[in-house]
Copies of this chain bind each other. A is one copy, B any other.
């Protein structure tokens, strides 16, 4: 059996996040997490589909993971998942095939289930199907009376769903070439070639089961999905690794994996589930309130508080900064900031006093403009989403749900309420009034205040 990993797609909706597959979580790109989960469940013989844009990075990942899989560049990204499978077909015979998206992150246990299903002879394939309570822009399954898939309807629009079951891209076919054949002959004028092919297979009698799954699932469609994802990966990692109880822990029952190569001040407080990597320094009066991941060589400075957040490597979380419920990439520098419910790209810096607003004054859900359209994030707390190498000046205020593109600079003191593209320099138009100062300072007032301070 071959396992096809799909990692070619570019997600416009994720902008300014460039490639979710390569986004670092707990010190590894997301794709590596997926590959390791598959390996752990006993899957191997990978075929990896990527794009021109991320080919180099995946080559490096392959080397780092000592894998021998072919890495195929998908030529026509507009053909989506169907194109990926067709382009991989020369590498597959009539074997069974498991098709997995590199970023549909699920509980690893589902792969164990799949191995049992695979041995049964009652179907020609299956898909993992998840019950959704709110509309999600994915492929909805219509099942027939016998419980097999009759049709997949891609993004039907809210209210038109044939069921509440959305397929997760973990699909299995007993004979890969059957799928390839249907893909080659399917016809559609929408963005659903793959779904059409599978619907045609169903029409022609192929029995494709829906394996219902109720565990963790986080597709990364919108930037804020990252905020749930890292947390799952952390919990996952804490289960996997051997548990070391930190004797200084104030929260009994917490799992804390703190590198011996980390320096934790005895005046720092570390609570809850945490992973703290090599070379991390946590200075006096800092607080880390788990669940938290702190990457290699990151500095958590005095009075800084990190809670419920992922911090990448080589970051400086400077004095009195608060990072709450956020994902922070690598090499990010903060200083006396509040960053809440935010996704902060690698190499970004915040000047002192810069703040991410994460709650509207009216406390309503926060909309985010995505490809020109307002999307309700379904969250009433959401901060900023930045690309890589963003710079934010001192005392700047970023409004909830604003996105800032790669290499863009935001001037000091600005109130930023709109999305900013890549490579922009945003400054305020300040007008000052400079007059003669006619105030006469009365020394006694100050002396009076000084006296009060003493008492």
Contacts and interface: CB of A to CB of B under 8 A. Distances in A.
A84 to B, nearest CB: 35
Nearest to A324: B319
A416 interface: yes
A389 interface: yes
Given A322-B319, A355-B353, A395-B355, A433 B429 contact: yes
A174 B33 CA distance: 80
A397 B408 contact: no
Interface stretch (A45-53, A214-222, A299-307): A299-307
A267 B351 CA distance: 29
Contacts of A381: 449
A365 to B, nearest CB: 9
Contact of A435 (B316, B319, B336, B424): B424
A430 B398 CA distance: 13
B437 A357 contact: no
A428 B432 contact: yes
A412 B402 CA distance: 14
B439 A362 contact: yes
A437 B408 CA distance: 7
A437 B422 CA distance: 9
A439 B361 contact: yes
A413 B411 contact: no
Contact of A322 (B314, B320, B424): B320
A409 B338 CA distance: 21
A407 interface: yes
A426 B426 CA distance: 23
Nearest to A267: B269
> From DSSP, what is the main secondary structure of chain A's interface residues?
loop
Given A284-B287, A413-B413, A441 B269 contact: no
B428 A429 contact: no
A364 B439 CA distance: 9
A393 B433 contact: no
A399 interface: yes
Contacts of A285: 269, 285, 287, 303
A233 to B, nearest CB: 22
Contacts of A397: 353, 393-395, 412-413
A361 B442 CA distance: 11
A436 B409 contact: no
Interface residues of A, number: 76
Interface string A429-454: 11111111111111001100110010
A78 interface: no
A395 B355 CA distance: 7
A91 B339 CA distance: 62
Interface in A388-406: 389, 391, 393-397, 399
Nearest to A279: B454
B351 A352 contact: no
Contacts of A305: 302-303, 319
A61 interface: no
A446 B363 contact: yes
Contacts of A284: 269, 287
A427 interface: yes
B431 A429 contact: yes
A245 interface: no
Contacts of A336: 322, 338, 355
Contacts of A361: 351, 391, 393, 409, 411, 425, 439
A415 interface: yes
A17 interface: no
A113 interface: no
B409 A442 contact: no
* Closest CB pairs A-B (n = 7): A362-B439, A413-B415, A425-B437, A338-B352, A429-B431, A361-B391, A395-B397
Given A285-B303, A352-B357, 13 more contacts: A287-B302, A299-B453, A303-B305, A335-B338, A336-B355, A338-B352, A351-B357, A380-B445, A407-B441, A418-B432, A423-B437, A425-B434, A428-B432
